[in-house]
Each structure stands twice: as C-alpha cells, then as structure tokens.
Structure 1
C-alpha cells in the first residue's frame, strides 16, 4: 500500500469520477485507474461499484476513507512542516548570551529576525561568558554568544564580530570636548573597571602599564551596563565595548574614540555533539549583519 494509491482513492471519493480525480492529481486517467486497482488488490476488497460509467463507493470504502483522510492530513501536515523547516519558518533556538549582548542588543536583533521567521520559538538566558561556555559544552543551549577571542573558525565556534573599545565619560567631563582619548589623557582619573578575572581588564591594565600610567580604580563590576551607570553617576571614567555604548540609554554619559586600539571580540559557540541547524546558521548571519549595520564603521575591526 502506497501513499500515491491512497491519494488516488481520496481523489476519486471527492470527485466521484476517475477522470476528474486524475485531473486533480495531475496524472493520466489510466494511471489513476491503475492506482485504484492496485489499492483494491492490496486491501482485498472492492472499493467502488461501476454503474453506467460512474463510480459509487462501497460501504467498506466509506469506512476506509475516514482512516485514509486522517492519515493523509497527517502526511500533508508533515510536508508543510518540512517546507517550513526548509524555508527557515519553523524551529526553536535556545540561546545563552553574555549581558553585554543580552540586555538590549540581542532583543532588538531577535525582534528583527522574527519579522522574517515568525514561527520560530526563541529562549534566551543571560549568563557570564564563562557560564555561557559551560552551557554550550554541557549541551544546555543551541548556541552561546560570549565575549571571547576566537581568531580562527572551528567546529565548535567562530568569531561573531570584533570591535574596538570606546572611552565612557560623564557628561560635562573636561575630555568630552575631545574627539579621541589617549592613555595620557586619563592620567589621574578615577576608573570604573571590570574585575581582574576578565580578559578585557587584563588587556586595559597591560596597555596603561606600557604607558607608565597607574590607573586609580574606584569601582569594579563585571557587567558593562553597570559600568556605564557608575560612570554616569560620576564615579569615574571607563573603557567599554561599543555594543554596550550603543545600547546604553542614559543621558549623562558621552562616548569617545579611544586610541591605541583595544578590541572586544564577541564569539559564537556551538555544541561539538551536533552540527548547527539551518535556522541557527541563518540567525548567526543575521545577528552579525545587524551588529555591523548598527555600529559606526570605525568601531568594527572585523
């Protein structure tokens, strides 16, 4: 028993003639007749009585038709689901992301993504970059987005975007009138900074040490958004990633280009146990393009 035979049977039941059933299925009349004959042979009883050129379903055919209709509806539903999956209109994504991305940037990127992929279900959890890596390794999410250097693509991840840090200053600060801030400009300033455990902190410390400048650390916090809030409150200056600067909604802070260049790399992490889906690949491409479109070109390194 084949699906095509069942489709021919349903078509004849609906159209009441083999000719119209064949037209409905876009096949020849002999082909439709052969499908019905093969189905009758398979089930072991007659499905139609032929009277004056018309087909009348038998009582057994009426009973069978109810089951065939339910089965074919299920097959059609599967075909529709497969089409939606192929066209990236159906699926789910479980995302784990660092706060710098998850607090505001990703919600906006996801909202735009869903305008083209409306039936996709998305779950996003916010964790530190280290926890995001652990979640990916433990297969507790489909994709991880973290602040992490990854210069070469691999089977378990790739760089999303590389950006250059900016200097955050409270409005009214003496340096707000400058277009570019350099290390010697910040000598003697109080700093709001990431903790020592983060790579960005080590990178900044090393740069200022190379210039012979000792930073006066006023406040430490691991979340870039909080760093901006501390700066706006007048507790110091800071160097942060440009995505946080882009998304920060406070009015009491100004952002300036910082030289020499310090980079913040955002990376995408996959499970090593299963390849990324077509939907996930599309989401990553969209997120990268969204970031590049949102940031000023001089803030995008690669």
Structure 2
C-alpha cells in the first residue's frame, strides 16, 4: 500500500465513481483505476464491484474504508500542522465527540473560546463512543467527549459528567403537561430509545423490566436527536440522555424528568502523556462550565471516580436483573 492508493480509494468512496474520483484528484481515469487495482492486489481482496462504468463497494471494501477514512483525516491534519509550523502559526484543533455533545454543548464552549482566538482550522469529528476513543487514543484528535464506560490506557480522563436521563414527548401530548413522566406511562405506548444495548440503553430496558412496564413497540436509533425528533412527530415517548435534550432545545418537544434513576455518564479525554495546549485546557474547563449552566442535575466527578461510577451504574443494573 502507498498513500496514493489510499487517496484514490477514499476519493472513489466520496465521489461514488471512478470518473468522479479522477476529477476530484485531477488524474486520468486509467491512472486512478490502476491505483485501485494495485491496492486490491496488495490487500488480497476486492474493494469494488465493477459493472461497466458503475462501481459499488464490496463488504470488505466498506470495512476497509472505515479504517482508511480516519487515516486520511489524520494525514490532512498533519499537512495543516506542518504548514502552520512553517509560518509559526498556531496549530489546528481537532475534536472527536459523540453526537449529543457535538450538536449543542461543544459549539457553545467553542464560542466562548472564540473570544480569545480559535485557530484557523478547527475539526470536529462526530462519531459513536467507540470511534471517539479510537480517534483520541491514536492521536487523530487532541480531545474527545465520549460516554462511559471507557477504559483505555492511551487515554487521560480529565473529568466525568453525570446527569439523569429524561423523557421527550410532543408538546401536544397530554403527558407534556406533567411535572414528571412515570415509566408506567410507557405501558402500551411506543418507546423511542437508543440502539446500543451496552451503554445506558441497557439500564432503560432493565428499569422497565423492574417496573413491569411493557411498551407496545420500540423505535431505536443511534442518535438522540433522531429520538427527539421522532417524539416530536408523535411516534412515542423518547427516553434520551440529557446533554442533547437541554443542549439543543427543539420547538414542539417537551423535555421532562422521569421517575427512575437512569444516569448518563460521559468523560472528557485527551491522549495520555500528550502535553495540553492552552486552547485544549480552556476547552476542557469550558465544557464543564457549559454543562453546569445547561444541564439540570449535573454532577462533575474527578477521573479517579471512574471505576466506582461504572461499578455503581452497572452493578445496580445487574441487581435489577437479579431482583
């Protein structure tokens, strides 16, 4: 493999065709085709299905692209940093974040830093929690915001946030007038929640089981904003984490506490052993300030509390199973 081959493959994935990729890179179509063929030969598997001028990605090609895309992003950032060094310009800032923080809280924290000067290039990569951990641990990103659990030796945790999950319902739903939504309200109604069963969704399912509540059906998604918008459309009652619920208010949606203790935990992390710039340090503090001001019931914990918090949350979930 060489970088030209990876760049050619990434361009095909972005453009959707060999012809379009050739235009993006300013190369001839035969030259680009040869690069892709050489890459496939080096890898030992096909990346693309070819049907005349049309190409589609193979299953292995899609999996490989998931590895290539962050590498290409890192290389672009490396080029920018090299250019900045050459002219003594401040380096760019690269941030990885779960979607809930990226849409509301993070922009607000950056807005405050902008008064003292953000670099010319700021990169925000919105990913699932596992990818945030990967981006920060491999130093593709300088700082990350991810949900717990997280346990990686290449990460330094600066603080851990905790706040109770909430319910979202359409503003014209009768429940919107309540002070608090009981889990029993989900009996016979559609539950809208997260798809990942290994994070806080697990505690939602267990809480419902403990209360003997059975929703009529379930709509699950991988982003909280989709869950909230589904609730706005009247599709059911959403149980969501509080970061996006309060960080990005949506007209036509009522956000209310629930009568069950389901904590959402998240952490601000950086690569272990990497010195913090003043900008990154300011962002770490700014994220804590925004969380305090925006999220009801927010509690900030030191990094040393991680094991206790994870044990408390998941042992209580296990207790629900055994009850």
Please, what TM-score do these two structures have when normalized by structure 2? 0.60
Q: Could you say which residue in structure 1 is the equivalent of 2:183?
A: 183
Q: Could you say which residue in structure 1 is the equivalent of 2:20?
A: none
Bigger mean CA deviation after superposition, 194-203 or 131-140: 194-203
CA distance in 2, matches of 1:252, 1:218: 21
- TM-aligned CA distance change 1:117 to 1:165, over 3 Å: same
Corresponding residue pairs, total = 213
CA distance in 2, matches of 1:243, 1:289: 13
CA distance in 2, matches of 1:223, 1:198: 15
CA distance in 2, matches of 1:159, 1:282: 13
CA distance in 1, matches of 2:146, 2:124: 13
SS across alignment from 1:130? helix
Q: Could you say which residue in structure 2 is the equivalent of 1:277?
A: 277
Bigger mean CA deviation after superposition, 250-259 or 226-235: 250-259
Q: Could you say which residue in structure 1 is the equivalent of 2:267?
A: 267
Q: Could you say which residue in structure 2 is the equivalent of 1:98?
A: 98
Please, which runs of 5 or more residues in structure 2 have no aligned partner? 1-84, 301-323
**Alpha-carbon deviations, 1:161-183, whole Å to 9, x = none?**
21111111112222112101222
SS across alignment from 2:235? coil
- Cα deviation for residue 106 of structure 1 reads 1.1
SS across alignment from 1:213? coil
Q: Could you say which residue in structure 1 is the equivalent of 2:108?
A: 108
CA distance in 1, matches of 2:164, 2:120: 33
Are 2:163 and 1:163 aligned? Answer: yes
Is the CA contact 2:108–2:290 (under 8 Å) kept in the aligned structure 1? Answer: no
Q: Could you say which residue in structure 2 is the equivalent of 1:221?
A: 221
Q: Could you say which residue in structure 2 is the equivalent of 1:138?
A: 138
CA distance in 2, matches of 1:115, 1:219: 42
- Cα deviation for residue 133 of structure 1 reads 0.7
- Cα deviation for residue 246 of structure 1 reads 1.8
CA distance in 2, matches of 1:139, 1:119: 18
CA distance in 2, matches of 1:256, 1:98: 22
CA distance in 2, matches of 1:283, 1:205: 34
Is the CA contact 2:137–2:155 (under 8 Å) kept in the aligned structure 1? Answer: no
Is the CA contact 1:218–1:235 (under 8 Å) kept in the aligned structure 2? Answer: no
RMSD over aligned Cα atoms: 2.6
- Cα deviation for residue 266 of structure 1 reads 1.8
CA distance in 2, matches of 1:94, 1:196: 26
- TM-aligned CA distance change 1:150 to 1:163, over 3 Å: farther
CA distance in 2, matches of 1:291, 1:91: 27
- TM-aligned CA distance change 1:217 to 1:146, over 3 Å: farther
Q: 1:54-133 alignment to 2 at 5 Å? A: 90-119=90-119, 121-133=121-133
CA distance in 2, matches of 1:196, 1:294: 25
CA distance in 2, matches of 1:279, 1:250: 30
Please, what TM-score do these two structures have when normalized by structure 1? 0.64
**Alpha-carbon deviations, 1:234-293, whole Å to 9, x = none?**
111011122211234432211111122211112112212523333312210111112211
CA distance in 2, matches of 1:248, 1:123: 20
SS across alignment from 1:210? helix
Q: Could you say which residue in structure 2 is the equivalent of 1:245?
A: 245
**Alpha-carbon deviations, 1:133-166, whole Å to 9, x = none?**
1111222111111122469xx9621334211111
